[in-house]
Amino acid sequence: MKVMLSIIPEAFSALWTNRLRSFLTILGMVMGVTSVITIVSAVEGMQSSIENIFESMGPRSFIVSRFGFNVTWSEYLKLLKRKKLTVDLIEPIKSGCPDCDEVGAEAYKSDHLKYGKSRMRWVEIRGETPNLLSTRKIDVLLGRYISDEDDARRRQVAFIGHEVYDKFFKEKDEDPLGKIIKIGNREFTVIGVAEKLDTEIVQGLDECAIIPISTHQKIYRQPGNPVNFVISAVSLERREKAMDQVRVVLRSARHIPYDEKDDFAMFTPDNILSFINDITQAFRVILISLPLLSIIIGGIVIMNIMMISVTERTREIGIRKSLGASRGNILIQFLYESVILSMIGGGIGLLLGVQLGTWILNSVMDIYITPTTLAVILGLGISTGVGLFFGIYPARKAAKLDPIKALTYE
């Protein structure tokens, strides 16, 4: 063990001697690992986020959205041409849907939260109408939910998830009600705290802040201020009738000819979850295979560079063997060098994937994610495995060199 540990500084020294070569090798590994972590996190995060939304709904509820189950880029571009759903359609739906119990609207954005010196990055900020509490599987632990008056006056008040409460207040044994937190650069008064959710699927809803939808649209203004509608039927048995009534109202309000398809989508928690489970397995494999290819190429580069290193250091290997170094010592040193290169690249790639990848997905693409354990394990595991696999051949070649021939090598 002592001999193996003593070889590590020698491996670092050899890599430092060829700094440019080592840097370029590490760079390729960094790009591959960063891509793996970002893509895996995005896929897992999107699936979890969608599951969170729909699992949090009651069985009587359904959602009306501008977008449907589009799976191609061309379909998505077509759906972008659809008219946006806006809050002014809530009243027509209420009056035209006798089987609807509640009609509400919601919008989403990610932003930073701050209280004192405590911070939470890229927390989901949800704008909701006050009546959505009755359609959610959320109980109030402390205080109250947002009210009609909060929404009408565009008050900067926040109903926070249990994870936010734990992070900002519970650890300090503070009463959160009435405290001022910052969402982005704006101050909000905490009016309530959600009960911790029990199921694993919806645990992401514990890390969110809910504000009046009017306030949400004022702060995170978008062209047309689009929303999704969350509608609850009077009973599960009458949900299909309620969906038909809403469809009639929207087609009429949006002046859709009778012979044309809906320019909106309607779905229930059960059919959306079934759809997600069907497509994400193949989708995940395809997306992950792309950055894996770059990592494999990086591994081939590592192997080629180690082969060059073996050739350049042939005399050194001969001298080491003549002084008593065993085949095992030589093999381990070159394996160490290969693994060190891949692990450094993997470590930097991990940091970039967690920080830069999360920032890009959250802020630029507005996909709310947190890097998953699976993504981290894949990133580090693959990079280490690549270093071992592609380092074996050069290391074995170095170990098998004849010391006499090596000493006379020019």
The pTM of the whole model exceeds 0.85: no
Nearest in space to 394 (alpha carbons), one of 340, 341, 331, 346: 331
Q: Tens digit of pLDDT for each residue in 81-130? A: 888 899 999 999 999 999 999 999 999 888 999 999 899 988 999 999 99
More confident residue, 312 or 46: 312
CA atoms within 13 A on the CB side of 275: 12
Q: Are 115 and 189 in contact (CB under 8 A)?
A: no
pLDDT of residue 200 exceeding 60: no
Residue 199: predicted pLDDT? 47
Residue 71 φ/ψ, nearest 5 degrees = -120, 0
Distances (CA, A) of 198 to 38, 137, 265, 273: 28, 10, 30, 19
pLDDT of residue 352 exceeding 70: yes
